[in-house]
Chains A and B, each alone.
Chain A
Amino acid sequence: AQKITQTQPGMFVQEKEAVTLDCTYDTSDPSYGLFWYKQPSSGEMIFLIYQGSYDQQNATEGRYSLNFQKARKSANLVISASQLGDSAMYFCAMREGVGQAGTALIFGKGTTLSVSS
C-alpha cells in the first residue's frame, strides 16, 4: 500500500489565487513527521513546511500553510496568493518515528503546479 498518496498529477491556478495540494498518508506509527518539498525544473528539492504528528496547531511558513487533519490522515498544502515562481513539482513526504535521525523520507509521486498570469 502507498504510504503517501498525492492524487492530483497537475494543478492549474492563476496568479494571486490560493491553491490546495492534496496529500494523504498511511502509518501505524504514532510518531511521525510530514514534509512538503518544492522541486523546480532545476531539480533541487526545497523544503517548504513541516508538521509533527503531535503538533497541536497547523504549521504555517509565510504563504504556505499545512492543513493537518490527523483523523483523516491528510496533510494538504495551501499556498496563498500564488506567484509565477511557484510553478514547480510539489512533493509530500513522511518520516516515521521522528526522533530517529536515520529514518528516511517516504515521498509521494508529486503534483505539478502551474501558475499563469
Chain B
Amino acid sequence: GAGVSQSPRYKVAKRGQDVALRCDPISGHVSLFWYQQALGQGPEFLTYFQNEAQLDKSGLPSDRFFAERPEGSVSTLKIQRTQQEDSAVYLCASSLILGVSYEQYFGPGTRLTVT
C-alpha cells in the first residue's frame, strides 16, 4: 500500500525566497505531523493537524513558517523569506487516531538547502 509521500525530495532556495513543501499522508490517517531535522540531530516537532484543524503549532520557529491542510488530507508547509538556518530535512508523519500505540508513519522527507 502507499505510504506517506513528500515532494519535492530536494529543494535549493536562495535566501529570501519562499518555499512550499508538500505531504501526502496515508489515506484515512486523521493525524498529521511536521518535524524539522537538522543535520546530525533528531527530528523536532513543528506542528500537528487533526483532519483540517491545526491543533498545535507550538513548534513553528517563527511566523515565517505556515502550515495548512485545508481538506484534511494533503498538507503544505510554507516557509517565507527563507534563511540559512532553515536548512534542514522536513519530515511529515501521519497516524490513525485510533490504535494502541498511535504509531506515526514517516515520509522520506524534503531536504531544504538555503544558499
Contact = CB atoms under 8 A, between A and B. Distances in A.
A45 B33 CA distance: 13
Interface in B3-43: 30-31, 33, 35, 40-43
A91 interface: yes
Contacts of A102: 31, 48, 50, 55-56
Interface residues of B, number: 33
A33 B101 contact: yes
B59 A104 contact: yes
A46 B104 CA distance: 10
A50 B99 CA distance: 13
Contact of A104 (B45, B101, B103): B45
Interface of A: 4, 33, 35, 37, 42-47, 50, 52, 91, 93, 95, 98, 101-110
A45 B106 contact: yes
A9 to B, nearest CB: 9
14 contacts: A33-B102, A44-B109, A45-B43, A52-B100, A93-B42, A101-B102, A102-B56, A104-B48, A104-B56, A105-B45, A105-B93, A108-B42, A109-B42, A110-B41
Contacts of B74: none
A101 B95 contact: yes
Contacts of A35: 101, 103
B105 interface: yes
Contact of A110 (B42, B44, B59, B108): B42
B97 A101 contact: yes
Contacts of B107: 44
B77 interface: no
A75 to B, nearest CB: 14
A34 B33 CA distance: 17
A44 B108 contact: yes
B42 A104 contact: no
A47 B44 CA distance: 17
Interface in B65-115: 89, 91, 93, 95-98, 100-109, 111
7 closest cross-chain pairs (CB), A and B: A107-B42, A45-B106, A104-B45, A101-B97, A50-B101, A44-B108, A43-B109
